[in-house]
Amino acid sequence: MPVAWFICKYKRRPVPPGGWWKLIRYCAMDDFTSQINADGGRWSETEILNGYAIVKVKASDTTLDTIAGTSGFQRLPKNLLTASLSDLTTAQKNAIRNKLEEIGYSLTEIKDALGNDLGSKTLADVLRFAARRRLKHRLDEATDTVIYDGPEQSVKPIDTVDESVT
C-alpha cells in the first residue's frame, strides 16, 4: 500500500456544553481516519510550529489523492525519507520553502539550515528541520483565537512518525 507525507493544520472541535475545558484541538488528518482505516491503512503525525503537523499516511492511492485534493493539505513530492530532492522542479522546491516560511521559519533560518538549494537535501533533512520545534498554544478568550507564543515544546521525531507507518 502506498504512503505519502503531508503538511496540514490542527483544527478545533466544538467544546461540549458544560465541558470544563475551553479548547479541543486535533490534527486535521483525523477527518480522514475512517477512509484510511477502511483501506487498512494508518497515519501518524507530529505537531510543529504554529499549529501545523507533518503527517505520514499509508492508504490507497484514491484516499491519498482525496486528501491531497482537500484544501489545507499539502502533499510532499517524495514518499521516502531517504529520497533526494535533486530532481524536484524549481516550483516544487519553492513550494516547500514557502510552506516552511508559512509555518513560521524565517528565510534566513531556512537557508542557514538547508542552504540555498533544497535539491542538495533529502526529504528527511527538510522534515527534520520543520520538526525542530513547536510552541505551546493558548486560547485568547477575548478573540476566541488560538495563539502559539508559549515556551518551546517537545516534538515527536520524524523518524518515529516514519516508523509508526510502515
pLDDT for 45: 98
- How many domains does the chain fold into? 1
Report d(CA 10, CA 47) in Å as an integer: 8
User: For residue 100, what pLDDT band results from cuts at 50, 70 and 90?
Assistant: very high
Least confident of 19-23, 83-87, 141-145: 19-23
Report d(CA 1, CA 42) in Å as an integer: 10
Distance of CA 154 to the CA centre of its chain: 15
**What would the grid cell of residue 58 be?**
499509508
Decide if 12 contacts 25 (C-beta within 8 A).
yes
At residue 86, does pLDDT exceed 80?
yes
Domain extent for 95: 3-164
User: Residue 62 in 3-state DSSP?
Assistant: helix
pLDDT for 20: 65
CB atoms within 10 A of CB 133: 13
User: For residue 80, what pLDDT band results from cuts at 50, 70 and 90?
Assistant: very high
Over residues 102-154, the pLDDT tens digits come to 999 999 999 999 999 999 999 999 999 999 999 999 999 899 899 999 999 99
Over residues 25-64, the pLDDT tens digits come to 999 999 999 999 999 999 999 999 999 999 999 999 999 9
Q: What is the dihedral of CA 15, 16, 17, 19, to 10 degrees?
A: -70
Decide if 131 contacts 118 (C-beta within 8 A).
no
pLDDT for 19: 64
Q: How far apart, in Å, are the Cα atoms of 3 and each of 42, 102, 123, 136, 152?
A: 9, 24, 14, 30, 30
pLDDT for 144: 87
Distance of CA 37 to the CA centre of its chain: 20
Question: Between these two residues, 135 and 22, which has the higher pLDDT value?
Answer: 135
Residue 26 half-sphere exposure, CB side, CA atoms within 13 Å? 11
Q: What φ, ψ does residue 55 adopt, rounded to 5°?
A: -130, 135
**What would the grid cell of residue 85 be?**
530532492
